Amino acid sequence: MRITSERKMLSGTSDRSIEDNEQKPIRVAIIDDESPIRRGLARLMRTSGIEAFVFSSPPEFLYDAVREQVDCAVTDLRMPALDGLAFQQELGRSLPHLSVVFITGHGNVPASVKAMKSGAVDFLEKPVDSDALLTAVVRAAERTRTLKVSYDQQSKIERLYKKLTPREQQIFALVVNGWLNKQAASDLGISEKTVKVHRARVMEKMSAGSVAELARMAERLGIRDAGAQDLSVSAPASSPGGLHS
């Protein structure tokens, strides 16, 4: 989709600046099909030390590489190309960490409830109170940055886990479920020495410094919840808290 020439970055500082000197400036995508609204909101952001990128529609934003760089999306609820709620659903698939603040001149209770349940930070009616909007944007940016770190960590853990061999994935699950080396070896039909070798490789490949750290990764992967039964092995009646000889 062609990006219109109207999209441009606006930035600046003022006495009301809410930018943390130790952090990157907040970057906001403003999405509204009305040009005066876009300009007004961008000006408000600029005078508050926030960088703003303006778009006339959700598709225009979704097709722009800047979507990966913004900390918040301020969007109208009703737009011709794609309404705000549908846009929010799309973000849930493509940019799940990105927080949204809705503004609308046609708000209603069901729409606002649906938006908030889907993760919107705020739902403000036009004409928008400047302080309320800026407060919502800061809160949304903080939420986005926190979620992005969490999603990045999750993605890293999943990538590392996929690099494990099937046998190493078995050992991974047994380690975090408290199996002894000799119990794992007996059930899997391999030697204790082989179990120890696999365990060491699991720790190395997962960049885990301890079994406790590996267990935290397993919780994020859902392995501890699933348990060792998913590996077609039977857990012992009782086992200590760590896999060891």
The CB-side HSE value for 67 (13 A sphere, CA atoms) comes to 20
| Same domain, yes or no: 50 and 147 | yes
Contact 206, 223 (CB under 8 A): no
Q: What is the largest CA-CA distance in the chain?
A: 73
In angstroms, the CA 231 to CA 228 distance is: 5
Q: Does residue 238 belong to any structural domain of this protein?
A: no
User: Tokens standing for 91?
Assistant: 């973000």
Number of separate domains in the chain: 2
Across the chain, mean pLDDT equals 79
Among candidate residues 134, 154, 174, the one where a domain is terminated: 154
Could you list the pLDDT tens digit for every one of the 245 residues in the chain? 222 333 333 333 344 444 443 468 999 999 999 999 999 999 999 999 999 999 999 999 999 999 999 999 999 888 877 777 888 888 888 898 999 998 887 666 456 656 565 567 788 888 889 999 999 999 999 999 999 888 889 889 999 999 999 999 999 999 898 888 888 898 889 999 999 999 999 999 999 999 999 999 998 898 864 444 444 443 333 333 445 44
Least Cα distance to 219 among 170, 176, 159 occurs for 176
Kindly report, residue by residue over 125-180, the tens digit of the pLDDT: 888 899 999 999 999 999 999 998 888 898 899 999 999 999 999 999 998 988 88
Domain shared by 140 and 43, yes or no? yes
Structure tokens, 101: 């603040």
CA distance 73 to 52: 10
Q: Report the amino acid identity of residue 182.
A: K
**Residue 236, in any domain of the structure:** no
The burial class, CB within 10 Å (0-12 / 13-18 / 19+), for 186 is middle
Among 122, 154, 186, the domain-final residue is 154
Last residue of a domain, one of 113, 130, 154: 154
Q: At 45, phi and psi to the nearest 5?
A: -65, -45
C-alpha to C-alpha distance for 57 and 195, rounded to whole angstroms: 56
Please name the residue ranges forming H helices in 10-73: 35-46, 58-62
Note whether 79 and 146 are same-domain residues.
Answer: yes
Decide if 197 is inside a domain: yes
Residue among 107, 91, 104, 103 nearest 137 (CA): 103
Domain boundaries, position 207: 163-231
Residue 241 lies in a domain: no
Are 119 and 145 contained in the same domain?
Answer: yes
Residue 42 burial (10 A CB sphere; 0-12, 13-18, 19+): buried
